[in-house]
């Protein structure tokens, strides 16, 4: 067992005030570790960083083709979206297309994170619906697959054909048996693996043939960074900065992955204290380290050396990538 290492630092003036520790792994197309920080064998729950794996059965089963799904649908299947109109209108249209309604989803409602959509709901005194859930695109994909398989409506049950297909895809791409699962915020099973296993899976996506389900999902994410997350979010900002050459995806509790097809590299990282700001800083630093993102790009600097300001907009310090990543 290797202890986690410092991956991000918060400085207040000349003082190191806080440090975020974690684990990170970069794998090549053979699933071998190219570089690692901390413990590659740490068992992790990748949370929403695994959504592209969960979307594989949607394509591989033929369900996506049978229902005429486009790149926007595939991007939403991999998304943790803001609940903005560009997200919810597409999810509603998708549900209508397959003959389903909001009540058929099993992700649960929550207030949208998009400020415009949130204000609109508050002003209208309306309650959020399940399509506002950041995982509603993934669940629309689950519903589509369940219909295609002729399976029952409780698609989030661990023994349901949809989740068994997700487990098979997860173990196939990570290259190892999952030691178990937890229940995600959207009520679906989230399978555990090692950090090496998750980086191996992302390298599997990065090196897959151009006509494969993996490549189709990576292309969809890269084409539609606004659908994968939303305005102001690290996933959207960093993918735009890399001009669609790299797909990245956050997960709850400070998980992050990156898929680099040009280099056939996969990245997975976990900040052990669950601090999202540190995961965003670390993934940006690793992308710079790999040459996928220019070190002086404004979006790179926003995360690897981002200013910390107070309530009067006075700059009080910086959140910086740790020297181990530079």
* pLDDT single digits (tens) 117-174: 999 999 999 999 999 999 999 999 999 999 999 999 999 999 999 999 999 999 999 9
| Nearest Cα residue to 114 out of 101, 100, 128, 95 | 128
Per-residue pLDDT tens over the stretch 237-246:
999 999 999 9
In the DSSP assignment, the letter for residue 41 is: T
Q: Give me the helices (H) in 98-207, please.
A: 115-124, 136-149, 161-174, 195-206
Q: What is the H or E stretch that residue 86 is in?
A: helix 85-97
Neighbours of 140 (CB within 10 A): 28
Residue 133: count other Cβ atoms within 10 Å of its Cβ.
28
pLDDT tens digits, one per residue of 185-228:
999 999 999 999 999 999 999 999 999 999 999 999 999 999 99
Q: Using CA atoms in the order 258, 262, 263, 264, what is the torsion angle rounded to 10 degrees?
A: 70
Q: Average pLDDT for residues 103-130, to the nearest whole number?
A: 96
Please determine, for residue 3, whether its predicted confidence score (pLDDT) is greater than 90: yes
- Predicted confidence at residue 246, as pLDDT, reads 98
Residues found in the chain: 326
- Hey, what are 83's tokens? 């609940």
Q: How many CA atoms lie within 13 A of 2 on its CB side?
A: 16
Determine the CATH number of domain 5-325. Answer: 3.40.710
Q: Looking at residue 64, what is its pLDDT?
A: 98
Structure tokens at 117: 């959509």
- Bigger pLDDT: 21 vs 1: 21
The pLDDT, as a whole number, for residue 1 is 63
Nearest residue to 128 (alpha-carbon basis) of 118, 138, 137, 136 = 118
Q: What is the pLDDT of residues 30-86, one digit of tens each?
A: 999 999 999 999 999 999 999 999 999 999 999 999 999 999 999 999 999 999 999
User: Would you list the domain boundaries of the chain?
Assistant: 5-325
Mean of the pLDDT values across residues 23-33?
98
- Angle between the N-to-C axes of helices 161-174 and 195-206, in degrees from 0 to 180, rounded to the nearest 10: 90
- Residues β-bridged to residue 24: 37, 269
> Residue 306 is encoded by which pair of tokens?
């981002």
Rounded CA Rg of the chain: 19
Task: Compute the distance between CA of residue 257 and CA of residue 250 in angstroms, rounded to an integer.
Answer: 7
What confidence tier does 95 reach under pLDDT thresholds 50, 70, 90?
very high
d(CA 214, CA 262): 14
In this model, does residue 304 exceed pLDDT 80?
A: yes
- In this structure, the number of other CB atoms found within 10 A of the CB of residue 113 comes to 18
Cα–Cα distances in angstroms (integers) from residue 275 to residues 194, 222, 226, 271, in the given order: 19, 25, 23, 6
In the numeric block, which tokens belong to residue 312? Answer: 């009067």
Residue 194: what pLDDT?
A: 98
Q: What is the percent of the chain with per-residue pLDDT over 90, rounded to a whole number?
A: 99
Percent of the chain with pLDDT over 70: 100
Q: Give the pLDDT of residue 2.
A: 87
- Count Cα atoms within 13 angstroms, Cβ side, for 304: 22
> CA-CA distance, 183 to 246, in Å (whole number)?
29
Distance, CA of 204 to CA of 206 (rounded, Å):
5
DSSP assignment letter at 130: G
Q: The tokens 């002729």 sit on which residue?
A: 150
How far apart CA 52 and CA 276 sit, in angstroms, is: 20
Q: How far apart are CA 258 and CA 234, in angstroms?
A: 12
């Amino acid at each position: 067992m290797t202890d986690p290492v410092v991956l991000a630092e918060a400085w207040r003036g000349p003082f190191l005030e806080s440090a975020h520790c974690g684990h990170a792994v970069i794998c090549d197309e053979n699933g071998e570790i190219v570089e690692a920080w901390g413990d590659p064998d740490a068992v992790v729950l990748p949370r929403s960083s695994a959504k592209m794996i969960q979307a594989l059965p949607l394509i591989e089963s033929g369900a996506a083709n049978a229902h005429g799904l486009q790149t926007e649908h595939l991007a939403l299947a991999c998304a943790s979206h803001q609940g903005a109109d560009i997200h919810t209108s597409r999810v509603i249209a998708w549900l209508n297309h397959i003959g389903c309604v909001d009540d058929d989803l099993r992700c649960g409602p929550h207030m949208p994170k998009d400020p415009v959509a949130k204000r609109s709901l508050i002003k209208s005194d309306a309650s959020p619906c399940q399509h506002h859930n950041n995982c509603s695109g993934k669940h629309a994909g689950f519903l589509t697959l369940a219909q295609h398989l002729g399976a029952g409506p409780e698609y989030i049950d661990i023994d349901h054909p949809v989740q068994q297909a997700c487990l098979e895809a997860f173990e196939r791409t990570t290259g190892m048996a999952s030691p178990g699962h937890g229940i995600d915020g959207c009520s679906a099973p989230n399978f555990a693996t090692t950090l090496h296993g998750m980086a191996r899976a992302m390298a599997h996506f990065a090196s897959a043939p151009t006509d494969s389900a993996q490549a189709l999902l990576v292309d969809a994410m890269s084409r539609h960074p606004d659908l994968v997350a939303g305005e102001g979010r690290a996933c959207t900002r960093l993918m735009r900065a890399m001009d669609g050459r790299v797909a990245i995806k956050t997960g709850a509790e400070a998980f992050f992955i990156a898929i680099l097809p040009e280099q056939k590299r996969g990245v997975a990282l976990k900040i052990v204290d669950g601090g999202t700001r540190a995961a965003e800083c670390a993934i940006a630093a690793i992308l710079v380290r790999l040459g996928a993102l220019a070190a002086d790009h404004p979006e790179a600097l926003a995360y690897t050396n981002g200013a910390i300001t107070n309530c009067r907009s006075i700059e009080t310090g910086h959140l910086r990538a740790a020297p181990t990543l530079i």
